[in-house]
């Protein structure tokens, strides 16, 4: 690791993640902003919906985005403390639609079995 960088290692969990280079398992970022942008594209909307379902709140921070799901498939090394975990993230455009669909499915399942 170079001085002042963030290293991300991917630990496959069995499912194929949607990387542009599926054979790549390590990324190095020189800045917090580069890392944050990568996370913004890496974490899927379904994991963000799951976060909302389990935590009863929307995933707002960088820490929230990596707390479960996709975030559990990577290890982050930040020896220089470049990462600002409380930084605000931007939810994907389809987040509200996916959240509503998830809520509808859960309500229907509860009605049928409940």
- Phi/psi for 42 (5° steps) reads -80, -45
- Expressed as residue numbers, the domain containing 72 is 6-113
> What's the structural domain count of the chain?
1
> What average pLDDT does the structure give for the chain?
88
| pLDDT interval class at 5 (50, 70, 90) | very high
Look at residue 4 in the predicted model and tell me its pLDDT.
Answer: 86
Q: Residue 28: inside a domain, yes or no?
A: yes
Q: Counting beta carbons within 10 angstroms of the beta carbon of residue 2, is it exposed (0 to 12), middle (13 to 18) or buried (19 or more)?
A: exposed
Residue 1 lies in a domain: no
Of residues 100 and 15, the one with the higher pLDDT is 100
Residue 78 counted as domain residue: yes
């Amino acid at each position: 690791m170079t001085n002042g960088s963030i290293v991300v290692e991917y630990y496959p969990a069995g499912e194929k993640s949607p990387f542009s280079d599926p054979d790549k398992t390590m990324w190095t970022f020189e800045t917090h902003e580069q890392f944050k942008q990568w996370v913004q594209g890496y974490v899927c909307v379904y994991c963000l919906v799951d976060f909302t379902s389990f935590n009863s709140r929307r995933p707002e921070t960088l820490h929230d985005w990596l707390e479960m799901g996709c975030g559990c498939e990577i290890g982050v090394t930040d020896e220089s403390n470049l990462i600002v975990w409380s930084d605000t993230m931007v939810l994907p455009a389809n987040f509200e639609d996916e959240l509503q669909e998830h809520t509808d499915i859960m309500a229907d399942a509860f009605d049928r079995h409940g």
